[in-house]
Structure 1
Amino acid sequence: MGSTGRHQPVRVAAASGSVTDLVENLTDLAKNAEVDFIVGDWMSEYNMTIRGSAKVANVGTPDAEPAFEHTFMDALEPAVADLARRGIKLAVNAGSSDTEKLYNTVNDLVKSKGLNLTVAWVEGDEVFDVLQRCKTKGHQFRNITTGQNLDDWPFEPIYAQCYLGSWGITEAFRHGADIVVCGRVADAAPTMAAAAFWHGWGRTSYRELAHSLIAGHFIECSCYVTGGNFTGFKSLPQGISPLLNLPVATINSDGTFFVGLHKTPGRSGQVSVDTCRSQLLYEIQGKRYYNSDIVAIIDQIKLEKSGLDSVYVSNIGFEKPPATTKVGITAKGGFQAEVHYFVVGLDAVEKVKLLERQLRHYLDTDKLTLLKFTTSGGSSPNPNSQDEATLDVRIFAQAPTEEALSPKNFARPCWNIVMMTYPGATFAVDARQGVPKPYLEYFVTTLPLSHVNHVTNLPSMNKSISISPPTDTVPYVFEQEIQEPTDVKPLHAFGPSITAPLGYIVHARSGDKGSDCNVGFYVRHADEYPWLRSLLSVERMKELLQKDYNGKRIERFELPNIHAVHFLLKDHLDRGVASSSTYDVLGKNVAEYLRAKHVQIPEAFLARGKI
């Protein structure tokens, strides 16, 4: 292993899709998987803000906990000997905001076990100093999701981190690295790097890179492509264990690839065209899938069943890479707290209105930047239990100062209203959520790659390799096209229909990027697709969202080969995961909400059975 220009496919397995994934996955793959590389994703926008702010707060504190993802070390320690024994290379983004410290920790582990492994680390993602220099020179930073200019953002940046591409990891492999640790590289970058190294691709191998980018997208979330977060979960085959198998991407020299399974005895799940469609539609922003090395064009993608638990993926287009990369900027937002009340039984709407009216009058709202009342659940007619008749009322507040949300100024006034409000008024007696805690704001923009100091470090070889930015580029598109349906049929042309939940016959998937939320819908049968694309226009999406539609831009495009329609809901998630006032901070349940909406569904389609 280690040569370039190979004709045989490269096999890449995914061990982790987030910081909360199963730590034992890596050990299982290292011991048993027939693969050449293992990759893992330990980062998200949320831990970018948390780790970055912690690093800033701990500057000058020598005993502070390093700001990398410690669960990665929990996964690596029992697996590293098998990686060495079997010659499997590993690339992960678990460095968060302290990648060099993670490198030192990994290197110490390798030495303590007497293993002959070369460890490398990639730097350049921490760009706060670059941001400050660019601002001083008058560079304007536009928010990708809101369009706001950074100069108009009412928060003071404390940390900035950009998304690096795959070439730093590729160079590490080319110089003999066995383990490569990174901070914020693009989620798909480790997979792209494995394929580029194995097949000897260059910077202008655009079609191959575009396919490997989407291969990385399929497996970057580990079990999401094998049945996790899949709206068809009831149809999944069941093993002895309800835990799911992990995915493997087998990437050919032309970039086309197969998505398959590493089968752990007893585990369940599957790889099918439907599970692949589900993962493809997760967290995309339009037909252009951006990466700092390549832009994949996915509207004509083809997914073909190629055997049991195997799907062949091809026909991905490309554009040359942008001259910029995405950067996330973190700032201190202030403080937040919440109190919960419970409403039971009849007149629930009127009870909630009374409570809100009283508290907005009684609280010192001038000191708050946000006061939001949210109801969850509902009282079913003729309920079978008191729980079925209970509604949760969440009173959520944010303020610039801790004092404004101190117990005497927020939680206690919320509780003190209990004697004069609606019948049965009861608040949650656990007071911990009512104590103010700091929260972070997050601003997503772009940064010229020419300003980024992307470097691969192999300290054991005394080597540091600079990674140059792309020189042949196309501009980043802030707003992608809105593709409205054309040549559509009137809905009555599909035959007699029944009013039923959309999700009876339509799969869906949604997710977050900053404060944007994407949601994609697809159907199981080809003859249902003309109905789906006729039904789901931008205007119909606004109608389905109802009270949740915020008046912002909605982008739409179609993926005809996989019978899917995709929407991007701009600025839908109230500033994103770090500061959102909603329950669904990651946008994952937008799809589930919309699948529950009632529409007219042709009887012939319903006769085939529900999802």
Structure 2
Amino acid sequence: MTQPTPIRIANCSGFYGDRVSAAREMVEGGPIDVLSGDWLAELTMLILARGRMKDPRAGFARTFLTQLEEVLGTCLDRGIRIVSNAGGLDPAACANAVAELAARLGLNPVIASVAGDDLTGRLDELSEAGVSFANLDTGEKLADLGIDPITANAYMGSWGIVAALDRGADVVVTGRVTDAAVVVAPAAWRFGWAPDAWDQLAGAVVAGHIIECGAQCTGGNYAFFDEVPGIEHVGFPIAEIAADGTSVITKHPNTGGIVSVGTITAQLLYEIAGPRYPTPDVVACFDTIHLEQEDPDREGPDRVRVSAVRGEPAPPDLKVAINYLGGYRNAVTFEIVGLDARRKAEIAERTLFAAILDGRDAFDEVDVRLEGTLTPAGDALDAPVHLRVSVTDRDAGRVGRRFSNVATEMVLASYPGLHLAAPPGDAREFGVFWPTLVPATLVCQEVAIGDERVAVPGPPTASQPFEPDLPEPGPSHAPPTEATRPVPLGRLVGARSGDKGGNANVGAWARDEETFAWLDAFLTTSRLKALLPESAPLTVLRYRLPNLRALNFVIVGLLGRGVAASTRSDPQAKALGEELRAVTVDVPVRLLD
């Protein structure tokens, strides 16, 4: 029996603000069947909500329309389906805007929107039904906060999109679905997968996870960036998904970047926790993934085959992302150079709070960080260090110019060389991210296509709640004594890091089995805390992925109450992996020669 041709699903967006020309590049660069994209990071929902407070029409990602204007006619001519989560908080409004754009272009596509994820108006009803909305990280109950959420969206799966495609939609826009759903759904639709085709669905989830962040799997943000040709304009990815759920990740020819086992491994480690990756469609087992570089002479360059992925029944609960306004914050940053930098920082901090009535106690929260490299004597000789003082409070006046002006008043009256990294600013409102769960049986997707409204139930689920994987702290015994040489860890090991609510993850991988055997024994939970001192007081979870020659660490609470509330200079932990790779460690000489 002849196997169906794989479906070629292209990505043209990894976040709200990604390269606008990517849609045109993917449509014009070669054959594709589906144009997909991800616009909805956790932070994006808060951004859209704040925009909608000022303009009721601002509930979706408007850059999607800019991209669509360049390609809609060509996509209709070639039969390319468009699947996007750019609907954000208002997929119906996004669909209407697409219809207006199409009319202006003289086109007549079939447009569908997929909703049902917005629970903001249902929180009381769901609470009465017994949903506690307990915070997944802290266990706190939402009702105990006494706050009014501005968004509450369940992460929905693929079957609403499948229903829209079944009904002939040329363009499908959704609200909050999982990032991978815009890839899983076209594959499930094309091949007619059943909702319990766990292995096929898991394979598509993995393919979706790989391409959901756009060029981040084709050489962008890659640890070994010197190996990336044409890094100035990296091409976006394509997933060629077969009927059995296996896939090949590639990109259009003659575009910048590289698709290698390394770039795919890096992206697989992005924003995950344990090996079992739960989604509303299936639990994908990342510890079963097999990666293989295809022969460039036979199959062509930049092709990595992804196979052997196993799946388990979907969890009975859906993740819900709630955002609420947490108050106001402000920060001042002192740039400190030269001798005695540590003592200068101590003087700056002491002087700043001495000039404020009630000092630190004047604010709900205070965070002070000295960032940069000091000599053992406390000097900043090669580059400045930065003393960043952040304050938050429910009262905007307390953290406004009344606070930041104090730093300005210190300029001529404190340590030598005092200057600020930026002019004093005013208070800014911030949001708090609250991850929680809701039973999948209480939420249903709804497809709107023309005058038709279709309720789409979720897939069958496991009978028991999803149990996260148990972390493995690593061996407690000392590695064998052998000749070593001090080198930066990153000379041997790649890393990628990111955010999940208030937690950060950093995945580290080796490029051969011998190096992984050393890494597995060396990089324990306690060792990571020593190498990244910021993580030392926090809970760190370590997971093994030997099939990828990788370890993944989740640092619980590193980002506080989420990206929008974090006071770190890198609030999304994007550079955490590079911080780890920069640390000098003793590496066996046999791995270096």
Q: Confirm or deny a common fold (TM above 0.5).
A: yes
Mapping 1:49-198, distance limit 5 Å: 49-55=46-52, 57-58=53-54, 64-153=56-145, 155-198=147-190
**Aligned counterpart in structure 2 of residue 470 of structure 1, from 459, 473, 479:** 459
**Aligned counterpart in structure 2 of residue 403 of structure 1, from 392, 397, 409:** 397
C-alpha separation in 1, matches of 2:41 and 2:186: 21
**Aligned counterpart in structure 1 of residue 551 of structure 2, from 557, 562, 565:** 565
Residue aligned with 2:178, SS = coil
2:276–2:468 contact (8 Å) kept in structure 1 = no
Residue in 1 that maps onto 2:367: 372
Residue aligned with 1:599, SS = strand
Deviation at 1:372, TM superposition (A): 1.9
C-alpha separation in 1, matches of 2:331 and 2:342: 20
2:84–2:174 contact (8 Å) kept in structure 1 = yes
C-alpha separation in 2, matches of 1:342 and 1:555: 34
Deviation at 1:149, TM superposition (A): 2.4
> What one-letter code is carried by the residue in structure 2 that aligns with 1:369?
D
C-alpha separation in 2, matches of 1:474 and 1:210: 19
Mapping 1:74-473, distance limit 5 Å: 74-153=66-145, 155-238=147-230, 242-263=232-253, 265=254, 267-307=255-295, 308-364=301-357, 365-378=360-373, 388-407=382-401, 409-428=402-421, 430-431=423-424, 434-459=425-450, 462-473=451-462
Residues 429-458 of structure 1 deviation map (CA, whole Å, 9 limit, x = unaligned): 623xx2111111110111112221311110
Deviation at 1:124, TM superposition (A): 0.8
Residue in 2 that maps onto 1:30: 27
C-alpha separation in 2, matches of 1:478 and 1:399: 37
Deviation at 1:490, TM superposition (A): 4.6
Unaligned runs of 5+ in 2: 296-300
C-alpha separation in 1, matches of 2:532 and 2:372: 18
Residue in 2 that maps onto 1:586: 572
> What one-letter code is carried by the residue in structure 2 that aligns with 1:204?
D
TM-score normalised by structure 1 residue count: 0.91
Residue aligned with 1:491, SS = coil
Residue aligned with 1:595, SS = helix
Residues 522-576 of structure 1 deviation map (CA, whole Å, 9 limit, x = unaligned): 1111221111100112222222222432332x22221112211111122221111
Deviation at 1:32, TM superposition (A): 3.0
Residues 5-49 of structure 1 deviation map (CA, whole Å, 9 limit, x = unaligned): 972211111111111211111012222321111110011111111
> What one-letter code is carried by the residue in structure 2 that aligns with 1:33?
G
Q: Decide whether aligned partners of structure 1 residues 291 and 389 sit closer, same or farther in structure 2, where only a CA change above 3 A counts.
A: closer
Residues 253-277 of structure 1 deviation map (CA, whole Å, 9 limit, x = unaligned): 11011111113x4x32110000010
2:538–2:556 contact (8 Å) kept in structure 1 = no
Deviation at 1:138, TM superposition (A): 4.3
> What one-letter code is carried by the residue in structure 1 that aligns with 2:307?
S
Q: Decide whether aligned partners of structure 1 residues 485 and 342 sit closer, same or farther in structure 2, where only a CA change above 3 A counts.
A: closer
Residue aligned with 1:588, SS = coil
C-alpha separation in 1, matches of 2:419 and 2:83: 51
**Aligned: 1:541 with 2:528:** yes
Deviation at 1:389, TM superposition (A): 4.0
Q: Decide whether aligned partners of structure 1 residues 33 and 474 sit closer, same or farther in structure 2, where only a CA change above 3 A counts.
A: farther
Residue aligned with 1:353, SS = helix
Mapping 1:492-571, distance limit 5 Å: 492=480, 495-552=482-539, 554-571=540-557
C-alpha separation in 2, matches of 1:405 and 1:457: 46
Residues 55-74 of structure 1 deviation map (CA, whole Å, 9 limit, x = unaligned): 3x35xxxx644211111111
Residues 495-517 of structure 1 deviation map (CA, whole Å, 9 limit, x = unaligned): 41112211110001111110111
Residues 456-488 of structure 1 deviation map (CA, whole Å, 9 limit, x = unaligned): 1101xx2111111234324443643112446x9
Residue aligned with 1:16, SS = coil
C-alpha separation in 2, matches of 1:276 and 1:29: 19
Deviation at 1:85, TM superposition (A): 1.4
Residue aligned with 2:70, SS = coil
1:320–1:474 contact (8 Å) kept in structure 2 = no
1:260–1:311 contact (8 Å) kept in structure 2 = yes
> What one-letter code is carried by the residue in structure 1 that aligns with 2:567?
S
Deviation at 1:115, TM superposition (A): 2.1
C-alpha separation in 2, matches of 1:72 and 1:380: 49
C-alpha separation in 1, matches of 2:232 and 2:486: 34
1:13–1:39 contact (8 Å) kept in structure 2 = yes
Residues 578-606 of structure 1 deviation map (CA, whole Å, 9 limit, x = unaligned): 11110111111111111112221011212
Residue in 1 that maps onto 2:298: none
1:94–1:182 contact (8 Å) kept in structure 2 = yes
Residue aligned with 1:79, SS = helix
Deviates more, 1:5-14 or 1:217-226: 5-14
C-alpha separation in 2, matches of 1:484 and 1:397: 35
TM-score normalised by structure 2 residue count: 0.94
> What one-letter code is carried by the residue in structure 2 that aligns with 1:127?
L
C-alpha separation in 2, matches of 1:11 and 1:153: 46
Residue aligned with 1:404, SS = coil
C-alpha separation in 2, matches of 1:93 and 1:465: 18
> What one-letter code is carried by the residue in structure 2 that aligns with 1:253?
A
Residue in 2 that maps onto 1:596: 582
Aligned alpha-carbon RMSD (Å): 2.1
C-alpha separation in 1, matches of 2:381 and 2:91: 48
Alignment size in residue pairs: 583
> What one-letter code is carried by the residue in structure 1 that aligns with 2:410?
I
